[in-house]
Amino acid sequence: MARYTGPVCKLCRREGVKLFLKGDKCIQKCTLDRRSTRPGQHGASRARKESVYGKLWREKQRVRRTYGVLERQFSKHFEEAARRPGKTSENLLQILEMRLDNLVYRLGFADSRAQARQLVNHGHFEVNGRKTDIPSFIAKPNDVITVREHSKSMEYFKARALLLDQKSIPSWLSLDKDALSGRVLSLPSRAELELPFDEQLVIEYYQR
């Protein structure tokens, strides 16, 4: 499966905003705090005036890179959001938030979405009792995400269990720290999400 494997700090510099692609490490130490210019040899040159299209495209890139989704899959998520009843922008965020890799990250089982994606790919999680190793799997309310029994004996998950008390879990999720299990209580609303972008501009980009 194709994925971005380059330096993620370069993505934050290009977008000019912290995307927290390394999780808590971005709070403690961030390249953007030291070098706020765009990457590349011309990054420090005077910025050109951005067009309306450029602004919309840039916002779409911020959303896509925040969730670690490649272009083709992101377009599919938008098409699904547009088909659903309700506000397309909120539908899109809900689809992205209900991806299995994002839920593993939100529940505190990983420090970043990239790390969560790797854990899912390696088959360490099950959804409703069934092994699920597809990071793009879309969960639903009342679905239960659990660390698989054989994975709980790994040093990584033993150490992670001790750190869960320090993690802040969103109100639309619940966590059983002893069982290393989480449940989706409901779809998240926009007010419950603190995100560094304006998703409405993404909708305008696709509807232009």
Within the chain, all domains assigned CATH 3.10.290.10 are found at 99-184
Q: What is the pLDDT along the chain (208 residues), one digit of tens a residue?
A: 455 566 655 555 555 665 556 565 545 555 555 555 555 544 555 556 789 998 899 899 989 988 999 999 999 999 999 999 999 999 999 999 999 999 999 999 999 999 999 999 999 999 999 999 999 999 999 999 999 999 999 999 999 999 998 888 999 999 999 999 999 999 999 889 888 788 999 999 998 8
Distance CA 173, CA 142 (A): 9
Q: What is the CATH number of domain 8-42+49-95+194-207?
A: 1.10.1050.10
Check: pTM over 0.75? Answer yes or no.
yes
Within the chain, all domains assigned CATH 1.10.1050.10 are found at 8-42+49-95+194-207
Determine whether domain 99-184 maps to CATH 3.30.1230.10.
no
| Cβ-proximal residues to 66 (8 Å cutoff; 6+ apart), any chain | 19, 20, 21, 195, 196, 197
Tokens of 38: 């765009």
